[in-house]
Amino acid sequence: MPILSYREAIRTTLIEEMDRDPTVILLGEEIGLYQGTFRMTADLLERYGPRRVIDTPTSEIGFVGAAIGMAMLGLRPVVEMMTWNFSLVAFDQIVNNAAKIRYFSGGQVDIPLIIRGPNGAGVQLSAQHSQSFEALYAHIPGLHVVAPATPAEAKGLLRTAIRGSDPVIFLEHAALYGSKGEVPDGEFAVPFGAADVVRSGRDVTIVAYSRMLGTALEAAAHLAGEGIEAEVINLRTLRPLDRSTIVESVGRTHRAVVVQEQWRPFGAAAEIVATITEGAFDALDAPIERVTGADVPMPYARNLELMALSNAGDIMRAVARTLYREIPTPNGRSSGGQSDA
């Protein structure tokens, strides 16, 4: 399989789907002449022309609304948010139109709309550009919420999104764009609602998604050196959420640590903890642990940004608490991320 970056996997999938289906069009700020802030649409204006690669005004509520109308009329628009932080400007269109039109129409009108762009922190973009909004959108019925962690997932999930009939919130992580991995050729697709057990283990289940998957795998590797075998689940999608895979894993390991990058209160981890409590409570041998980002606006200074984000040591300490033991952690360092104490 070819080795592609996360960025290349998304861009090549856009090209493949635009070549296959002339109804797939791109919209967004500076995606044409400027080729996108993260170069996701490099050379696509030249390849497809201005009727399929549309530079929009700086008005998220305007171009998301236009894309919803295009989807209602049979096109398959892929909207690029320069950053998901700017999606708040279009929140009314996303929540009250994109998510509800099928319901309002009695199932007569599909909305094959994808809204994609960078989500999350870790690249020194400060408080207004470093937020994680997965819980915000996963709360809304009528939306799919996708958070790929690897280049292969980015390709497979994007293909599924483009070929579907529903509005999809496609949350790429800005800090993953340069990461590389094997990506299958051809008609590779990843179904929504199917989590991936990326590492098997018997002692504890670690649930993660997006950029935190890499952090969870790093922690699991260190834990293995201490004789602790952690099972790591990559959710891939948050809505739909693969609850059965989570519950089955905890039923085997009897312990759980849930990891998210976003702020702690009312986050995705809380919903996952509730899922475990409802489906595997009798199997638990210890309280469930959450590892999250610090409950503060993201600092710009790199040293402070790192303190606000969880690291492998935080996950290892959470695992140690579920096992009622102490475990040496890398450099003995704790970030400012939060975990249950």
CATH number at residue 318: 3.40.50.920
C-alpha of 1 from chain center: 24
The verdict on whether 129 is a catalytic residue reads: yes
281 residue type, one letter: F
Same domain, 34 and 123: yes
Same domain, 249 and 285: yes
Same domain, 172 and 133: yes
Same domain, 46 and 121: yes
Residue ranges of the chain with per-residue pLDDT less than 70: 331-341
Residue 335: per-residue pLDDT: 45
Is 230 inside a domain boundary?
Answer: yes
| Strands, E assignment, 183-265 | 196-199, 204-208, 230-234, 237-239, 256-263
The verdict on whether 254 is a catalytic residue reads: no
Same domain, 172 and 26: yes
Residue 154: per-residue pLDDT: 98
Is 190 inside a domain boundary?
Answer: no
Same domain, 30 and 107: yes
Is 188 inside a domain boundary?
Answer: no
Please say whether the dihedral angle defined by the alpha carbons of residues 82, 61, 85 and 271, taken in this order, is positive or negative: negative
Closest CA to 285 of 239, 318, 250, 240: 250
Of the residues 60, 153, 172, 305, only one is catalytic, namely 60
Give the chain's domain count: 2
Residue 204: per-residue pLDDT: 98
Instruction: Characterize the bridge pairing of strands 53-55 and 168-173.
Output: unpaired
How far is it, in rounded angstroms, from Cα 82 to Cα 129? 10
Residue 37: per-residue pLDDT: 87
Residue 331: per-residue pLDDT: 62
Same domain, 29 and 139: yes
Q: Domain residues for 38?
A: 3-182
Question: pLDDT tens for residues 16-68?
Answer: 999 999 999 999 999 999 988 899 999 999 999 999 999 999 999 999 999 99
Residue 337: per-residue pLDDT: 57
What is the share, in percent, of the chain residues with pLDDT greater than 90?
A: 94
Buried b / exposed e across 108-117, counting CB within 10 Å, b at 16+?
eebbbbbbbb
Is 191 inside a domain boundary?
Answer: no
Residue 336: per-residue pLDDT: 46
How would you class 134 by CB atoms within 10 Å of its CB: exposed for 0-12, middle for 13-18, buried for 19 or more?
buried
Of the residues 17, 80, 129, 231, only one is catalytic, namely 129
Same domain, 10 and 156: yes
- The CATH number of residue 67's host domain is 3.40.50.970
